[in-house]
Every structure is written in structure tokens, then in C-alpha cells.
Amino acid sequence: MKKTITLVLLAAFLMCVFSVTAIAAMDSASVMEDRSGGRVEVMSNESVVTASEENAEEADYTNLQISPRNEWFEIKPGGEKEFTIKVKNKENESVFTSPRLETMLYGEYFMEEEWITFEPGSAEIESEEVQEYTVTVKIPEDAEIGDYSTQIVFTNDTISTPYLPFLPQPSAIILSINVWEPQKIVIQPRYIHGMVEAGQTKEYQIQIENKGDEAISISPEI
């Protein structure tokens, strides 16, 4: 009886030791799990925390307070728009800023660099000081009608990530311009809906207004 009790206690002790060892191994390394279709590697919590800390260390860029962070305007071809951007230096030392355009990889059209000018062209901003930049947007007469997007970037800082490579730059604002022109021909009503019995006739009136500067010719057809 004593031998049986001793063997049972020894087996229980060995199981506890192996369990603790296995848990420690899981905390320090990735775990391989069998799934249908292959093997899947599951990262431990410690690995995830370490990766997050490394990414936090890499996210080191100039601390600027930029206002506004987004601007949107409607401008006609040949039109012009002026606005102001305020850049405050939150660093403990002076920071050199030089605004430029950075292409956005989404949007209908890319904005041309010659459409936008900055005053001043660059500035050294002392700690806790604010620099105002005057931005002038001039749309050429032959610009395509549509939506344009770009970033106005003030430093060379970038955000590096393998998951979202097209993030906006940290020291930048997003500028969106809708290039449009007013409708020259106005038609009322735009839709006609009614019921007509077979063999009967029904008349509708349509008004066409020319708001342009030149005469136009029309030839209605179905």
C-alpha cells in the first residue's frame, strides 16, 4: 500500500514539473498547431509584446502641431484659392520645415506641383514657436474636371509599416480639390413619369435654359 501511494505521488510530481516546463517553453517561443490543410504557427504573448515595443521605438518622428490637418475646396478651371497653415514646433529644439507636395496613391487625379505655391518657401521654427505658411492654389484653364488629392509635407519624416504602406505622412496635411464648372444647360423636368392609355396622346412640356455665354444648337432624339 505504501509503495502504491509513493508511486502515485511521484507520478503527480513529475506531471507538474513537465506542465510547468511546457508552459515556460510556450511563453518564450512560438507554438506550432496542426490545422486542416497544414501547420499554423501561433506567436506567444511575449513575442507580440516585443514586436509592439520595437514598432514603438521605430515610430520616431518630429513632433509638429499642424492646423488644419485636412482641407477641401471647390475651384473652377482658371480659379484660385488661398489659405493658411499653422505649424507649431513641439520639440525642445528648432526644426527646419520646407513644404512640398507628396503624391497620394488614391484619388481620381494627381495634383500638379506647379498648381501650388508656398510663402515662405521654408522656415526654421524655434521650440514652441508657430510658423504660418500661406498656400496659394491656382487651377489652369485646361484642367480636367474631377477630384484631386495630395499631401503637403513639412519634414522628411515617414511612417514605416509592412501592413499599410500608403499612410499619410506624420508632418503633413491632406489637401483635396474638386475642380468643377457650373452646369451650362439646365433641363426641367429631368424625369417624366405618367400613364397613357393605348391609342391616346399626352403632351409634356420640357424647359431648356442656356446659362452659358454662347448660343447652342439642340436636336432632341430618343
Residue among 165, 1, 135 nearest 68 (CA): 135
Does residue 88 fall inside a structural domain?
A: yes
**49/142 same-domain check:** no
Does residue 217 fall inside a structural domain?
A: no
Does residue 87 fall inside a structural domain?
A: yes
Helix, strand, coil proportions of the chain in percent (round to 5)?
20, 35, 45
Does residue 221 fall inside a structural domain?
A: no
**48/147 same-domain check:** no
For the ranges 57-61, 89-93, 144-148, 172-176, the lowest mean pLDDT is seen at 57-61
Does residue 222 fall inside a structural domain?
A: no
Cα 88 → chain centroid: 22
Instruction: Yes or no: say if 169 and 102 are a contact pair by the CB < 8 Å rule.
Output: yes
CA angle 195, 197, 199 (to 5 degrees): 135
**150/128 same-domain check:** yes
Distance separating alpha carbons of residues 24 and 101, to the nearest angstrom: 51
Give 56-68 pLDDT, tens digit per residue.
Answer: 344 567 899 999 9
Flag whether the pTM goes above 0.85. Answer: no
**54/95 same-domain check:** no
Give 75-84 pLDDT, tens digit per residue.
Answer: 999 999 999 9
Does residue 93 fall inside a structural domain?
A: yes
**170/78 same-domain check:** yes
Query: Which residues, 6 or more positions from 99, have their beta carbon under 8 angstroms from its beta carbon?
Result: 85, 118, 121, 122, 133, 135, 152, 153, 154
DSSP state of 210: E
**26/112 same-domain check:** no
100 versus 15: the higher-pLDDT residue is: 100
Report the amino acid identity of residue 41: E
**72/156 same-domain check:** yes
**26/92 same-domain check:** no
The total number of structural domains that make up the chain: 2
Confidence class for position 128, pLDDT limits 50, 70, 90: very high
Does residue 187 fall inside a structural domain?
A: no
* CA distances from residue 133 to 2, 66, 111 in whole angstroms, order as listed: 89, 11, 19
Give 10-39 pLDDT, tens digit per residue.
Answer: 455 555 544 444 444 444 444 444 444 444
Confidence class for position 112, pLDDT limits 50, 70, 90: very high
Mean pLDDT of 141-153: 94
Could you list the residue range(s) of the whole structural domain that residue 16 is in? 2-33+40-58
CATH number at residue 83: 2.60.40.10
**104/51 same-domain check:** no
Mean pLDDT, the chain, rounded, equals 77
**88/51 same-domain check:** no
Instruction: Yes or no: say if 159 and 59 are a contact pair by the CB < 8 Å rule.
Output: yes
Does residue 215 fall inside a structural domain?
A: no
**50/121 same-domain check:** no
**70/141 same-domain check:** yes
Res 176: pLDDT: 94
